[in-house]
Amino acid sequence: MSWSKLKQQLEGFLSPALNGRVEYRAPGYRYLPDKSGICYISVDKKNVLNMSDKTNTIKWYQTELEIKNDPDIQIPITNDEIEAVRKATKGPVPEDRLIVMARSRKSTEHVKELLSAQALLSKSNFIVVANKFLTTPVEESLESNDIVLNILALLDRRVGKKRILSMSDKMKLKHPIVQYFYGLRRGTL
């Protein structure tokens, strides 16, 4: 599918509140076929997401420690996760220590997911991901670990306001760029 048709379809799915604010751009390089994956997602005429450039205003993580020490990432834990740690320790462990251990386990898993999603984004070909988005249900795109699929689904008009508001806990665990677009869709930006 040509870029102009793809762009037209993507912009046709934009939430009415974001029409005119969000724009998809993909500069074509006629003589450089390997540059076809470059894409910008602009908000209010500013390039917010340039998939091939890590010097964006959005935070890109370089190490596990950066993610674990980021105060913006709050990892909620459930009673089931605490119970799993209790069973694994097989001994009397103070309750507050169990919570710390459960949070540490979950944060390690979260770090691996964030770093792998970030690595995939820099290698991603936007056109391929956008075509995948157009052929899969919105629910799958929202649940995906692919950052671009998450963003496209959040901007989609088929995802209603009630659903957006009910996703706040899930969004705390997503990459900062996904959180940015979530805030944009909620109307807080």
Q: What is the pLDDT of residues 143-188, one digit of tens each?
A: 988 888 999 999 999 999 899 999 988 888 888 888 899 999 998 6
Angle at 60 between CA 58 and CA 62, to 5 degrees: 165
d(CA 57, CA 44): 14
135-141 mean pLDDT: 93
Extended beta strands in 67-155, E state:
none
d(CA 161, CA 185): 9
User: pLDDT confidence of 133, banded at 50, 70, 90?
Assistant: very high
Residue 41 · residue 22 · CB < 8 Å: yes
Extended beta strands in the chain, E state:
22-25, 40-43, 46-50
To which residue do tokens 């691996």 refer?
Answer: 112
Residue 155 · residue 181 · CB < 8 Å: yes
pLDDT digits (tens, 9 = 90+) for 46-103: 888 776 555 555 566 777 778 778 777 778 888 999 889 989 988 788 988 998 889 8
- Beta-bridged to residue 46, according to DSSP, are 43
Q: What backbone torsions phi and psi does residue 42 show, to the nearest 5 degrees?
A: -105, 140
d(CA 168, CA 179): 9
Burial of 50 (0-12, 13-18, 19+ CB in 10 A): middle
Give this prediction's pTM: 0.70
d(CA 124, CA 175): 16
Residue 37 · residue 51 · CB < 8 Å: yes
d(CA 83, CA 138): 34
